[in-house]
């Protein structure tokens, strides 16, 4: 009897040790044109921003970065561009690679997981043991009954699915060229960017906030004003 109870306790501890938390969902971002929440192909568009490098004599000087949109930079005179490049490492951003978030919607796609396999496995093992114990002169052992039930539950749990946390967020982004596009983000938490934030696309990473709504005058006032 003690052996059966010891085996039962050992199996119980084993089952508890097998329990694991919900796996983390890796963050994914994608460009989409569908109005609903259908899966979209991940974008692999290369980064189109260019950075200017300023060298003085034989040593390389590290300068602060000035984030400038493509059209704003093109609208500056050549001498103005050269003057800015003397004090700033200019990073030029294509108009279709950044934008302002105008709307955000999130759908909770988490699942609670299943336990039917473990329940069914335990029930079948328990019923099988009872059937054998009370037929053919066999003796009944509560410890063996419990141990077999737990073993059946363990085997049946292989058919179950672990719970998952997944949130899909769709961002409406007004790009630098004025076009509206939709971008999806899938990850294991519900934290997201707010409306009015300037982001890089398709990565949906935080951009320099002066990019969105930037003008030639704002660049001149910031980098050329005496």
Q: First-to-last CA distance in the chain?
A: 92
Q: Which of 11-15, 117-121, 221-225 has the lowest mean pLDDT?
A: 11-15
Give tens-digit pLDDT for 71-108.
999 999 999 999 999 999 999 999 999 999 999 999 99
Do strands 59-60 and 55-56 pair parallel, antiparallel, or not at all (unpaired)? antiparallel
Give tens-digit pLDDT for 37-75.
443 333 333 333 444 444 444 356 789 999 999 999 999
The pLDDT score that the predictor gives to residue 28 is 73
- Band (pLDDT 50/70/90 cuts) for residue 144 is low
The domain segmentation of the chain, as residue ranges, is 2-22+114-159, 28-109+164-223
Report how far residue 157's alpha carbon sits from residue 20's, in angstroms, rounded to the nearest whole number. Answer: 13
Indicate the angle between helix axes 142-156 and 116-133, nearest 10 degrees.
150
């Amino acid at each position: 009897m003690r052996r059966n109870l010891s085996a039962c306790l050992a199996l119980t501890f084993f089952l508890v040790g097998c329990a694991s938390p919900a796996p983390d969902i890796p963050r994914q971002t994608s460009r989409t044109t569908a109005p609903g929440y259908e899966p979209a192909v991940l974008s692999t568009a290369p980064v189109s921003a260019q950075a200017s490098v300023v060298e003085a004599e034989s040593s390389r000087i590290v300068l602060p970065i000035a984030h400038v949109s493509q059209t704003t930079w093109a609208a500056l005179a050549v001498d103005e561009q050269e003057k800015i490049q003397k004090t700033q490492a200019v990073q030029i951003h294509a108009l279709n690679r950044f934008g302002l978030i105008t709307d955000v919607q999130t759908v909770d796609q988490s699942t609670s997981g299943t336990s039917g396999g473990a329940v069914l496995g335990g029930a079948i093992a328990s019923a099988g043991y009872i059937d054998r114990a009370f037929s053919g002169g066999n003796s009944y052992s509560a410890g063996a009954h419990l141990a077999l039930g737990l073993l059946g539950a363990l085997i049946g749990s292989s058919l179950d699915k672990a719970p998952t946390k997944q949130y899909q967020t769709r961002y409406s982004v007004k790009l630098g060229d004025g076009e509206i596009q939709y971008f999806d983000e899938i990850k294991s938490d519900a934290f997201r960017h707010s409306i009015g934030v300037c982001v890089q696309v398709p990565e949906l990473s935080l951009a320099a906030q002066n990019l969105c709504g930037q003008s030639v005058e704002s660049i001149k006032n910031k980098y050329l004003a005496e």
